[in-house]
Amino acid sequence: MIHAGPGQTRTGPVLICRGSVSRDCPHGPVPIDAGGCLVSPGLVDIHVHGALGHDLTEPDQAAWRRALEAHLHAGTTTVLATLASTGPAEMAAALATATGLIAGQQAPTLAGVHLEGPCLAPEQRGAHDSAHLRSASEVLRELTPLPEALRMVTLAPELPGADALISYLAGQGVRVSAGHSSATPEHLARARRLGLSHLAHLWSGQSALTRPALHRLPGLLEASLASTELTAEVIADGHHLPAALLTIALRCLGPDRLCLVSDATAGTGLAPGSAFRTGASTGRVHNGYAATDDHTSLCGSVTPLAVTVARMRELTGASVDDVVTMATATPARAVGLYPRKGSLLPGADGDVVLFGPDLSVRAVVLGGRPVTGVLPDGDR
Ligand SMILES: [Zn+2]
Ligand SMILES: [Zn+2]
């Protein structure tokens, strides 16, 4: 049982019984004083590529566990392992790695796979290797039958054959996201009707306003900001987007549709100067960010989700409740995991982060068990 302190998003005690948030517990829970910390649901990151030199396209369970553990210690208790574009065999092997980890209960924070690519627009590919981009029909073949661990796919909805791929995925409960794309508002509206529900990292890999003649033509960016139902991601690491753009995104979508994501790469936790793999590309760690080797494009981030929570508040002045919502309930809803994840409602998994007044992570609890911080091992 964790006693929340004053001024937190959660008021009153949070009771965790046998791993889940509960109204009562007959097993004699051990009280833990949160000592004035803010009690938040565990953080939900739906866009994570790796950490500590391990890219999640590596089909190696031990590498996945180490990367997921690094994010867990930083406060992320639910992860969609995000795979950048690679070849068909590598993609299948990484999906099988996720399935194995989930089936063997070897990775308690792993909630599934987010394929970022390989059906992306070449002109918006960013750090994705062009040699590994593939057509929608190829990807549809590769994902039939549907891999068990697959929960989200980011694709460019304007590409030929994308309609069939979107319908297939959405029809089986996989969340479909528009990203690395030059979709027009018409493409986006059509994809939405077919089941697309989400937008990858706003301003990154998105076409924007053009004026080929007299009239201005909105790009995917403007269509995203004008959308009324879609959820969307921002990378608030202090490098991808300046304060004004984060503020625009928050004003347009609000905390119930805007998700904070880390887009954290294998470079997370490595020293500046280190090289790392992301999908089939190579990135290099700089001071607080990662870039492609030629330093022309950012290459994901090196920032865990919890740090972006604090940065979003600093940069936009959003309330603590709103920034916490954007890293918990909103992403959990976007991928169909709410309220089991992203909430502290009765029945939710007992995943908790204690934030200090400066929004630094003071302790992390997973399924009722403290994994980091100064909390004694409490309720079983
Ligand atoms: Zn991306
Ligand atoms: Zn990414």
Domain ranges within the chain, ordered by starting residue: 1-40+343-380, 43-341
Quote the pLDDT of residue 372. 81
* Amino acid sitting at position 326: M
Measured from the alpha carbon of residue 201, the closest ligand is: 1
Which fold is adopted by the domain 1-40+343-380? Urease, subunit C; domain 1 (2.30.40)
Residue 50 has φ and ψ, to the nearest 5°, of 160, -170
Q: What secondary structure does DSSP assign to 133-185, as a single string?
A: ---HHHHHHHTSSPPTTEEEEEE-TTSTTHHHHHHHHHHTT-EEEE-SB---H
Closest alpha carbon to 302 in 272, 337, 334, 265: 265
**How large a percentage of the chain has pLDDT more than 70?**
95
pTM value is 0.95
Separation of 365 CA from ligand 2 center, angstroms?
Answer: 26
The predicted pLDDT at position 135 comes to 98
Looking at the DSSP assignment, which residues form a beta bridge with residue 45?
A: 79
Ligand whose nearest atom lies closest to the CA of 50: 2
272 CA from centroid of ligand 2 (Å): 20
Run of H or E residues at 281: strand 281-285
Rounded Cα distance between 380 and 357, Å, is 28
Rounded to the nearest whole angstrom, what is the distance from the C-alpha of residue 87 to the centroid of ligand 1?
A: 17
In this structure, how many other beta carbons lie within 10 angstroms of the beta carbon of residue 1?
18
What does the pLDDT read at residue 4?
55
Separation of CA 128 and ligand 2 centre (Å): 9
Q: Which CATH number does 43-341 carry? A: 3.20.20.140
Query: Which residue carries 């100067």 as its tokens?
Result: 273
What residues in the chain have per-residue pLDDT under 50?
5-8, 377-380
- DSSP letter, residue 110: E
Contact call for residues 12 and 358 (beta carbons, < 8 A): no
Nearest bound ligand to the CA of residue 301: 2
pLDDT digits (tens, 9 = 90+) for 223-237: 999 999 999 999 999
**How much distance in Å is there from the Cα of 33 to the middle of ligand 2?**
37
Closest ligand, as measured to the CA of 300: 2
336: left (phi over 0), alpha (psi -120 to 50) or beta: left
Q: Can you read off the two tokens belonging to residue 83? A: 């795979």
Please check whether residue 360 is in contact with residue 350, taking contact to mean a CB–CB distance below 8 angstroms: no
Strands 231-234 and 198-199: parallel
Instruction: Give the Å distance between the CA of 127 and the centre of ligand 1.
Output: 7
pLDDT at 379: 41
Do the domains 43-341 and 1-40+343-380 match in fold? no
Ligand number nearest CA of 47 is: 2
Q: What pLDDT digit, counting tens, does each position of 120-148 carry?
A: 999 999 989 999 999 999 999 999 999 99
> In sequence order, which residues have a C-beta less than 8 Å from that of residue 373 and are 6 or more positions away?
354, 361, 362, 363, 364
According to the model, what pLDDT value does residue 374 have?
Answer: 57
263 CA → ligand 2 middle, Å: 5
Residue type, position 158, single letter: E
